[in-house]
Amino acid sequence: GDHQIDIAVATRAFLLQTDADGRIAFRHDTIESAARELAREDRSIVNDAATVLLKAVESGDRRTTLTLARALAAGDDDASDEVIPPILLSLLPTASAIPILRRAAEYALDMVLPSDALVFCDHALTLPCADDVRLAIHRVAHEAAFLADDAYAMSRHFNRIRLRSNVLAVNQARQLWITRSYAKLAIRGALRIGSMVLRELGAHPDAWRHGSSCRLSRDYLVSRRERSLLVRIERGTPSSDPSAHLIATTCSRLLLPILTLDPQRLAGMARVILEQAERSGPTGHESVGFIYWRLLVGWDGGPTCVRFRLAKHAMRLLSIPAVAQLDPATRHWIETFTTFFGIEWELEHRDKIPVLQRAYDEGMRIGSFEAAANAIHLRCQIELYHGDPLSDVYTTMDTYRRVIARIGHGRTATALSKHQQAAECLLGRTANPLVLTGSVCDEDELIRRNTTAEDLFSQVGVTRLKAMLAVYGDDPVAAASGCRATFERERTVNSVVDVTLVYFLWGMVAWRSDTPDDGMTVLALLRPWRHTVPGRHRYLAVRGEHLAARGRVAAAARRYRRAYAAALSADYPYPHEAALIAERHGDALQGNGADRVSITDAYLRAQGLYDRWGAAHAVERVRKKLAGVAPDAPRVDATEPTRIRATAVSDATGNIGELQLLGRADAGYDARQQEPAASTTTLDSMRRLMLNAQSNLHLLFATLSDAIILADDSMRVMYHNPPASPYVDPVNGGMERVKRPVAVALEAAIRASLNDGVGREQELALDGRTLRVVITPAPSAARAARSIIALSVRDITDMRDQERQLIVADRLASLGMLASTIAHEVGNPNHVIGLAAQTLQVLVGRVVGTDDDRVTMTDIERALDQVVEGAQRVDDVIRQIKEYGRGGSDDRWEFVDPAEICERVIRFSRTFATHYTDQLLYEADHDVPSVRVVRSLVEQALINLIKNACEAIADRSARVVVSTRSDSEGAVVFAVSDEGRGIAPSFASGSNPAFLTGRADEGGTGLGLSIVRSIAGKHGGLLRFRSDDRFATIAEIVIPTEQTGSVEPADADDDA
């Protein structure tokens, strides 16, 4: 109650404030500092504070616990005194400090702050505590060192655990070493550690022995009926045996290492998990046991129906009670990897993307990083193999690869890098599109690393990617060789990718590589999948290849068309495979002398779809083929909703005469269902020109780095190119609008441009970036029915940063130039101070010990006034120099008298100018109004112009005049005139290119003028040059009294 009264009184006194959530805070840092100082002197307050802190820790307040732990770990460090004073820490007993540090370390682990957790644990271990508490702290530190990727700390704490713990605790700690070894590509080491755990826990020898000794486990699985075993596990009571749980956990953790290095152990692992469930009850890992069993059947080449059944059983076991009793991280791991190997039988691969994204998000939230990393890796693979735009795939992979590497799973990051490199190769950004070498990784280094680590899993991925690059790079021999090698190695690992993908790629090159037997094998492999998605279009395409190789062109064309339509089905489009099918259709027609219209039609489809996918080399290849058939054929974007159909006109030349856009037929692309063309040759030519123009325009806009937006007066977007995506938002109905912050900032300028038809330019700040927007209204004829504007947006943040750096560098250079001025300005008042001090000494000497009536207080006061005045002058000079030399950190917009600016500039520049002229003058116009500027920047610009003027004059009698005036439009004009050698025609013409100088032969760079121009532009003004009868050169900075194009910096804190 007393505390509440005190708080109320302090609030009324404007010392405290309460926010909407009821939290109390001091109104200012100085009040808080004073309150802390007073509180430290009151022992009762300190005791109460210690009690409050301990209660907050006990109640689970993470912020308080972490703050207190940091203060305890810092010890006598002065930095901790700002938050927790040492006198308060001294009241906390050691018995309370250890639980605080331990709990804070656990919180830090949950928040993925392993370095903080290690610091807390290390400090807690320096305090006396019980053995069981010390062991628990070592366990937390061991996990923190694992997350921090600190092998030394991890080994140190593991050794303490091994000395102080029983077999179960030691082998529980070894689980992290299994994960770390696999992440660091020490795969054989992971298997060795896992075998050690199973051997010490007394698991069946087949679980840790290698090779042929797993025969007993195979016999065990053969003797068990899957259905009855599933029912027994579902009805069983969850196991309470910690040893059984640890054995099952170890077998689950070894899933990836075994698949990667030694698939022969699959049977042993399946037996151990399922036998433990039969013996002591389900542990929650039984779904992984069925996954092991399913992978074993795949490794042995067993029936597809058996694999399907085992995968269904594994997914079903995720719902048993034993799984729900596991800790969240373990449960997430089991669910994720069971989904990897079991979900393919229920979902088309593209439907897996949201499932895998949820697995990644959940894993990152609860700390199941290994499962999260593998989930997002598989998601990115699916996007690459299933035809998502390559540029988007590349960006997504780059983002997640960096995240995975940051959380310490280097093996998964490396595996993802090869897929990102494949996307880069397909985009045409590498020297050789058939080799996985580029900005992301090097193929030779990747193969060497996989070979050294014996990483079969990753090596199969490399072979598969190279086969894919060869197929889309039109190298059938290399593609067939890669597909064959992938098929031979992929019996097990193909379970996590689309199983028909390699069959399709292989079948599309088998007959062209003179391996027809391989082609027939692929047909047999694809036949069971011909009624599934995407198996249907893949089977039809390979069937078309078979028929084309046998010379049955008409039958092959029908298969190709049906495969093309199936690949572009509305639910599961595969545009890149449709492009390959269309290209092969065109090749088959061309090789068998078909009509040019059909060939051109097929190639146009292939070119458009390759372009939409982003495969640059494939687009160029098809373009050359198309040019050989129909040189005047348009380049179009053949997307799925629009079909392109070409028909011939009966003329003497036999050239293509018509190109007609048809709506998509419900039954897909089939020439028999399309109506005959009815348009004329003239109409066809117009359509061809329109298609050409539209295609080229879209291509041009897509290649621009600037964002281009076409919108109406209500900010509804009619068109935008890819760089404009950050500035538009989708709305209902599939439409898009310009983002509200952009629309609001540009509203006045857009309205003015629509009214007068004149374009405008404006800078605005958005999300910490500076944007330059050019607003262009449509011509009046186009605006008669509808108000349309074009917005061109360029990010100039980097340019502005560079300009600020140049200004800072120039300002520092000017300070060096003005060193003599500074010495002169400080020397004069310092001389006055010295003389006045000497006078004071004489006067005081006369007063002390004498009765001289000639010395009066007036004389002493006068001398003291001279000292004070001189000191004030020194202080003013120093302050002005500091303000000028701050480099823009304290630039403030303020209304300033132009005469005041010029007087300060003359004062700064006078000593420097005496080296060149005796006549540095100032012509003041007292009728010039004040103008809103950044004082230091305008001063800097004028000093640069004075320096240029001084260097341009030939003798000391020439004048340099600084003046101010108002022009006819009310703008303020700062002018620096000189009687030097005059100006170059390029300056007089007003072109003023950046870094133009008239002293190139003397080492001039034009940097000073570039900075002056930048400063003028910052104020919405300009820099211009002219001459008259009096002066050879007149440099003028024109600053309008109302700056509409300037971007004002935030006001700096005066006390900063």
**Residue for token pair 């509808």:** 786
Give residue 475's pLDDT.
92
The answer to whether residue 633 scores a pLDDT higher than 70 is no
Give residue 828's pLDDT.
60
H helices present in 75-150, as ranges: 86-89, 94-110, 114-124, 131-147
User: Is 307 domain-assigned?
Assistant: yes
User: Is 476 domain-assigned?
Assistant: no
Query: Residues 94, 127: contact at Cβ < 8 Å?
Result: yes
Give residue 8's pLDDT.
72
The answer to whether residue 642 scores a pLDDT higher than 50 is no
Question: Mean per-residue pLDDT for 645-655?
Answer: 33
User: Is 483 domain-assigned?
Assistant: no
Question: Mean per-residue pLDDT for 46-55?
Answer: 75
**Which of 795, 818, 852 marks a domain boundary?**
795
User: Is 617 domain-assigned?
Assistant: yes
Integer Cα distance of 884 and 882 in angstroms: 5
User: Is 474 domain-assigned?
Assistant: no
Integer Cα distance of 753 and 757 in angstroms: 5
Give residue 808's pLDDT.
63
Quick one: pLDDT band at residue 993, thresholds 50, 70, 90?
very low
Query: Residues 615, 427: contact at Cβ < 8 Å?
Result: yes
What is the distance, to the nearest Å, from the Cα of residue 167 to the centroid of all Cα atoms in its chain?
Answer: 45
Q: Could you tell me if 299 and 439 lie in one domain?
A: no
Burial of 711 (0-12, 13-18, 19+ CB in 10 A): buried
The answer to whether residue 649 scores a pLDDT higher than 50 is no
Lowest mean pLDDT among 79-88, 390-399, 910-919: 79-88
Quick one: pLDDT band at residue 669, thresholds 50, 70, 90?
very low
Q: Could you tell me if 33 and 178 lie in one domain?
A: yes
Nearest to 197 by CA among 239, 262, 153, 253: 253
Q: Could you tell me if 712 and 629 lie in one domain?
A: no
Q: How many domains does the chain have?
A: 7
Q: Could you tell me if 169 and 306 lie in one domain?
A: no
Query: Residues 1033, 988: contact at Cβ < 8 Å?
Result: no
Give residue 982's pLDDT.
80
**Which of 884, 907, 925 marks a domain boundary?**
884
Q: Could you tell me if 667 and 683 lie in one domain?
A: yes
Q: For the chain, give me the number of helices (H) and strands (E)? A: 44, 18
Give residue 209's pLDDT.
61
The answer to whether residue 984 scores a pLDDT higher than 60 is yes
The answer to whether residue 255 scores a pLDDT higher than 80 is yes
CATH code of the domain in which 977 resides: 3.30.565.10
Q: Could you tell me if 939 and 1047 lie in one domain?
A: yes
The answer to whether residue 418 scores a pLDDT higher than 90 is yes
Average pLDDT, the chain: 78
**What dihedral angle (degrees, nearest 10) is formed by the CA atoms of 507, 511, 512, 515?**
100
Give residue 256's pLDDT.
84
Q: Which residues of 80-102 are buried (b: 16+ CB within 10 A; e: fewer)?
A: bbeebbeebbeebeeebbbbbbb
In total, the chain counts a number of residues equal to 1056
Integer Cα distance of 381 and 296 in angstroms: 24
Backbone angles phi, psi at 842, to 5 degrees: -65, -45
493's tokens: 């690992």
Taken in order 375, 393, 569, 497, the sign of the CA dihedral is: negative
Give residue 346's pLDDT.
53
Quick one: pLDDT band at residue 636, thresholds 50, 70, 90?
very low
User: Is 595 domain-assigned?
Assistant: yes
The answer to whether residue 105 scores a pLDDT higher than 70 is yes
CATH code of the domain in which 92 resides: 1.25.40.10
pLDDT > 90 in the chain, percent: 18
Give residue 684's pLDDT.
55
In tens, the pLDDT along 358-383 reads: 999 999 888 888 899 989 998 898 88
User: Is 803 domain-assigned?
Assistant: no
Question: Mean per-residue pLDDT for 121-147?
Answer: 89
User: Is 493 domain-assigned?
Assistant: no
Question: Mean per-residue pLDDT for 114-119?
Answer: 89
Q: Which H or E run includes 770? A: strand 769-777
Give residue 703's pLDDT.
67
User: What is the extent of the structural domain holding 841?
Assistant: 810-884
Residue 54 neighbours by CB distance under 10 Å: 18
The answer to whether residue 510 scores a pLDDT higher than 60 is yes
Quick one: pLDDT band at residue 629, thresholds 50, 70, 90?
confident
Lowest mean pLDDT among 50-54, 218-222, 596-600, 670-674: 670-674
Q: Could you tell me if 786 and 854 lie in one domain?
A: no
Quick one: pLDDT band at residue 1000, thresholds 50, 70, 90?
very low
Question: Mean per-residue pLDDT for 154-173?
Answer: 90
Give residue 839's pLDDT.
66
Quick one: pLDDT band at residue 888, thresholds 50, 70, 90?
very low
Give residue 223's pLDDT.
84
Query: Residues 500, 483: contact at Cβ < 8 Å?
Result: no
Give residue 202's pLDDT.
85
Question: Mean per-residue pLDDT for 247-268?
Answer: 85
**Which of 397, 426, 454 marks a domain boundary?**
454
**Is the previous residue joined to 534 through a cis bond, with omega within 30 degrees of 0?**
yes
Q: Could you tell me if 874 and 818 lie in one domain?
A: yes
Greater pLDDT, 468 or 164: 468
Integer Cα distance of 27 and 25 in angstroms: 6
Q: Could you tell me if 688 and 777 lie in one domain?
A: no
Q: Could you tell me if 418 and 543 lie in one domain?
A: no
Quick one: pLDDT band at residue 665, thresholds 50, 70, 90?
very low
Amino acid of residue 1000: A
Q: Could you tell me if 833 and 897 lie in one domain?
A: no
Question: Mean per-residue pLDDT for 501-517?
Answer: 91
Greater pLDDT, 782 or 800: 800
Q: Could you tell me if 926 and 1033 lie in one domain?
A: yes
CATH code of the domain in which 765 resides: 3.30.450.20
Taken in order 100, 105, 109, 113, the sign of the CA dihedral is: positive
Question: Mean per-residue pLDDT for 62-72?
Answer: 82
Question: Mean per-residue pLDDT for 307-328?
Answer: 89
